[in-house]
Amino acid sequence: MEEAQRRALRRGRLRLVEALRVAPLWDPLEQRGLFTRPMVEEIQSAGSRGEQARQLVIDLETRGKQAFPVFLSILRDTGQGDLADMLIEECKCLPAPLQPIDLRPVELDLHREKRNKIRAESERPRIPPAPARGGLDIDKRNHDLVYELKANPCGHCLILNNVNFSRDSELDLSTRYGSDVDCEKLEKRFKALCFDVQTRRDLKAQEMILELLKLARRDHSALDCCVVVILSHGCQTSHIQFPGAVYGTDGKPIPIEKIVNYFNGSNCPSLRGKPKLFFIQACGGEQKDQGVTVDYELPRDEAPGGALESDATPFRGLSGNMDEPDAIASLPTPSDILVSYSTFPGFVSWREASSGSWYVEALDAVLEQYAHSEHLLNMLLQVANAVSAKERYKQIPGCFNFLRKRFFFMCK
């Protein structure tokens, strides 16, 4: 299978998982030689219809040069031509030139020596292109909805990891056992995603600000994006755009919106139009979510027997000794910014000494499995679903999304 066809399957995977009717496909897939009966039975054992569809699309990439056009033909034969059209459009929107796709229905002999002999069953159907809206070129318009990452490294990644807090502060913040586990996971993960990673540990609030400003003032002209990760205690705070604040090791809070706005178009011109991603592992408040009863059984994900810890501290209003956010007049409308929070504003974010925080554990696992094929927002939905399925107390991550396009990570 050509790389462009693989990429089209990966980009269309979400819709295929949502809409693909797999039951009519099994016999044609076997009859046309794409899969043997044991292969089909293995895919059917994947679980729900959606899981079967996901496994089918993944396995399809390994089934040779004719797998893509044969799959399109089977989709049309089973009344799912809209999905075939979607995959063709995904091929068209890729920047690399593509060879014409032969859509003639074909049949592959089950015997190995005859498998490459393709017999035309009908004339090739002509598929008119979808009409462009507003005079825009469809191919260019679709391509423009994806951030382009070409540089290597693709950008800087700064990880601020606060573990040990001063006992002299009035808050008496506890040691964040397990945060080093989070930090190590994310260092390895973002290096694998082609970022230049720098880590800073146990910084006071002013030291955190200096590191953030140093990064924001760098020349990012030759790079394509920027990532900031903060692992610390946190709290609720008054805000204009982005809720919450994180603590330096001296117990002084920094509003998330102040951190984000160091990198906006006004303060960091070399990142204008480029994605700026923030991942915040910190509590959003003191509320402990006990969960609500639902009419179906959520997947059980038992937490280890060790004691759970949170990164919560009380609500803080803006005061004279707090690092206040910029004035409203100096805050332009955010663009190309995504802030991913480990928990809902006002609620606790849970962490375990042995395995780290629930959020980072799920984020790392999802990036490992899906970063090569899924865009960021889809992956964050999977992170939220995984964390929400934890037992004992509940937690739900979320994000403030001001990206203009889909973001796909680079993978080594």
Task: Give me the active site residues, please.
Answer: 233, 283
Give the pair of three-digit tokens for residue 293. Answer: 């009863």
Which own/partner pairs from 402-405 qualify as long-range (CB within 8 Å, at least 24 positions apart)? 402/334, 402/335, 402/336, 402/337, 402/338, 403/147, 403/275, 403/336, 403/337, 403/338, 403/376, 403/377, 404/335, 404/336, 405/144, 405/145, 405/146, 405/147, 405/275
Q: What's the CA gap between 129 and 354, in Å, rounded?
A: 55
Cα dihedral 332, 239, 318, 359 in deg (nearest 10): -120
CB under 8 Å to 353, separation ≥6 — which residues? 177, 178, 306, 307, 309
- Mark 73-108 as b/e (b = at least 16 C-beta within 10 Å): bbbbbbebeebbebbbbbbbbbeeeeeebebebbbb
Angstrom CA distances, 409 to 96, 155, 373, 400, stand at 18, 11, 9, 19
Question: What DSSP assignment string belongs to 230-283?
Answer: EES-EE-B--SSS--EEE-TTS-EEEHHHHHHTTSTTT-GGGTTS-EEEEEES-
Helix (H, G, I), strand (E, B) or coil at 59: helix
H runs (alpha helix) in 102-239: 138-143, 179-192, 205-216
Give the pair of three-digit tokens for residue 25. Answer: 């496909």
Residue 361 buriedness (CB in 10 A; 0-12 / 13-18 / 19+):
buried
Which own/partner pairs from 172-176 qualify as long-range (CB within 8 Å, at least 24 positions apart)? 173/233, 173/247, 173/251, 173/313, 174/233, 174/309, 176/231, 176/232, 176/233, 176/309, 176/311, 176/351
